[in-house]
Each structure stands twice: as structure tokens, then as C-alpha cells.
A and B are shown apart, each in its own frame.
Chain A
Amino acid sequence: GENVEQHPSTLSVQEGDSAVIKCTYSDSASNYFPWYKQELGKRPQLIIDIRSNVGEKKDQRIAVTLNKTAKHFSLHITETQPEDSAVYFCAASRDTGFQKLVFGTGTRLLVSP
């Protein structure tokens, strides 16, 4: 089955810096890759996703890149703000009917003012 690895486990940056979180997956048939943000005491919220037919997707200060050959994808946050502090999870699934997500282990991002 699918296995998703995520790095780093913790990431500390200064406000205004960029943050990058990387994930690798094992199932070459996976072609849907969402990212979730989970603030303390709250549910995971979808922030961006990408499908294998594109290599990059951007939404304001966040972007996701995908390298299908290498089987890895990354989340990029620019101009970080203290409210970006949270745990971020990557996930992967196949786009064939109803599919379950396999999650990475999570990255705790701390943005210091």
C-alpha cells in the first residue's frame, strides 16, 4: 500500500521568511496530493491540493510542486506570518473512484514574530 513520508517534523522560521515542507510517496499510481493545516485544538483544514497532470499550483502565499518521476511533492509558504503556525499534513491517494487518503506524519511550523 501507499506510504507517505514527510520532512521536517518541526520547522521554525522568522516572520517574513519562506517555509518549505517536503513529502515523498511510494505508490506510483497515486495522483492526488492535498495539504491540510491543523491548528491547535481544531480539525484539519484543506489549504491546497494538486493532481498529477500539473507540476505546480499556487494560491496567494502558498504553492505546491509535484515531481512525479521522483515521487515527491512540496508545500511552499512565502512571507510567513505568525498565524501560519500550525501542524501541516501532506497526503496522497489515487484518483480512481472513491479513494482514501494516506497521510504523512506532519510538520509543526512555528513562525516567530
Chain B
Amino acid sequence: SAVISQKPSRDICQRGTSLTIQCQVDSQVTMMFWYRQQPGQSLTLIATANQGSEATYESGFVIDKFPISRPNLTFSTLTVSNMSPEDSSIYLCSVGGSRDSGNTIYFGEGSWLTVV
């Protein structure tokens, strides 16, 4: 499986600020995904990051709030903009989900954000 590194691993952020999370994969992957896990909750897909094109957002998530970049096949960033306490969550980068990979999805270690 791919090795997925995320930065930062944890951060405490001030209300109204923005934070960019980086995700680096040790091999080229076609699709990268960003999930959110709110405290005590399940995982919800934010968007699919496509290399060379705009990200595809899920219902309830918008580009202005969660802009995503995907400059190459091994890297992506997710920005959480104008943060509020409700944005306190674990943000997880993941790869896989292709038929070639057996649909298996692997997660990075996550970025644990607390907004105060």
C-alpha cells in the first residue's frame, strides 16, 4: 500500500483564520480523496482531488470553504477557510479506490484541527 504523509498532524487554530493541510504520497496515484471526521462521528467525503482539473465536491461542501489543489500525481492540499469551531475535525487524505487497486482506500494519519 502507498505511504501517505500529512502535515500538520495537529493544530489549534483561531476562529476566522485559514489552514492548509498537505498530503504527500510516495507513489503516483490518479485519485486522491479528502475526508472529514467530526468528533465522535463517521467519515464523510469532502471532495475528490483530480490532477490537472478542478476537484469534485460532495453535497454540502463548497470550493470557497475547502479549496483543493492537486499540482501533480503525488501531492495535494486542502485548505479549511474562515474556520469556525464547527470545523474542528480530523481531516484525512486518502488514496486508492480504483478498480486496479482493488477499490481499497488507504488513509493518511490525519490532521487533527481544533478551532478556538
Interface residues of A, Cβ cutoff 8 Å to B: 32, 34, 42-46, 49, 51, 89, 93, 95-106
Contact = CB atoms under 8 A, between A and B. Distances in A.
Chain B, interface size category, equals 20 to 34
Given A43-B110, A103-B43, A104-B42, A98 B104 contact: no
Nearest to A94: B103
A103 B107 contact: no
A34 B42 contact: no
Interface of B: 30-31, 33, 41-45, 48, 58, 92, 97-99, 102-110
A78 to B, nearest CB: 24
A105 B98 contact: no
Given A44-B107, A46-B104, A46-B106, A97 B98 contact: yes
Contacts of B109: 42-43
A43 B1 CA distance: 15
Contact of B97 (A42, A44, A101): A101
B31 A98 contact: yes
A38 to B, nearest CB: 9
A106 B48 contact: no
A93 B33 CA distance: 14
B105 A34 contact: yes
Nearest to A93: B103
B28 to A, nearest CB: 15
B97 A43 contact: no
A89 B97 contact: no
A97 B42 contact: no
B99 A101 contact: no
Nearest to A102: B45
A99 B97 contact: yes
Contacts of A43: 92, 107-110
B45 A101 contact: yes
Contact of A49 (B33, B45, B99, B104): B104
Given A95-B103, A98-B31, A103 B42 contact: yes
